[in-house]
Amino acid sequence: MRLQDKRTLVTGGSDGIGLAITEAFLREGADVLIVGRDVGKLEAARQKLTALGPAGQVEMVSADLATSPGIAAIIEHVRASGRPLDILVNNAGVAYLVPFETVSEAQFQHSFALNVTAAFFLTQGLLPHLGPCASVINISSYFASKMIPKRPSSLYSLSKGALNSLTKSLAFELGPRGIRVNAIAPGTVDTAMRRKTVDNLPAEAQAELRAYVERSYPLGRIGRPDDLAGMAVYLASDEAAWTSGGIFAIDGGYTAG
């Protein structure tokens, strides 16, 4: 198993992309700490993950990473465990896909708090606890560099572009410590967050979006959360020992054109 006995922290690990990555890590032998706000969702995820078998151990911690106390609580939990962290996945995020002219200050602040500030300060606070050859994986988005017509993304694109810049700069700053930093940039993935966002669009916009996906994705479909798990395992493993500073597009070929 490629991640045997490695300790992993996955934010937003109770559903969607985070849960799929966590499942893959467990199958590869990692011990995983999942972080989320909703205790009920965390417990349901823990039960599902535990049922996978004895490959790795599962812990859970509830915290709001859009707040400084939430970030501090996770850092303290890792410190108190006394065990180095080998893999950090900054996956928690929020997508406000609203027209530029209607973006509120509250939406702006929350988007950056969860999509950028949490990744920045959680990684910073965990530096003393990251073991030799640790891997940091940020979950970005194709929206950082390519847009969809009639799907407003100024705020979301801005935050994910910032996360990409953070990924590359940290690869340079933390490389001398042996820490690798990479990002996965998914295309459209069928998650609860995505479905909620699409459901809020007018019916005409939803129909246009479906048609756009069918004709624009070379592989003919949007992604599933487990489509990203293989890349996450690779980046977390020793196979990626000389891989750092990359933004890896996992998007069914969408950004190839």
Bridge partners (DSSP) listed for residue 88: 9, 136
Distance between CA 208 and CA 154 in Å, rounded? 19
Pairing between β-strand 7-11 and β-strand 31-36 as defined by DSSP bridges: parallel
Residue 39: other Cβ atoms inside 10 A? 12
Could you tell me where the beta strands, DSSP code E, fall in the chain? 7-11, 31-36, 58-62, 85-90, 130-139, 180-186, 247-250
Helices and strands (H, E) in the chain, number of each type? 9, 7
Structure tokens that stand for 5 in this block: 């006995």
Q: Answer yes or no: 156 catalytic.
A: yes
Place of tokens 């972080």: 35
DSSP calls for 195-251: HHHHHTS-HHHHHHHHHHHHHH-TTSS-B-GGGTHHHHHHHHSGGGTT--S-EEEES
Distance between CA 125 and CA 119 in Å, rounded? 10
Which residue in the list 142, 156, 217, 234 is annotated as catalytic? 156
Catalytic residues: 156
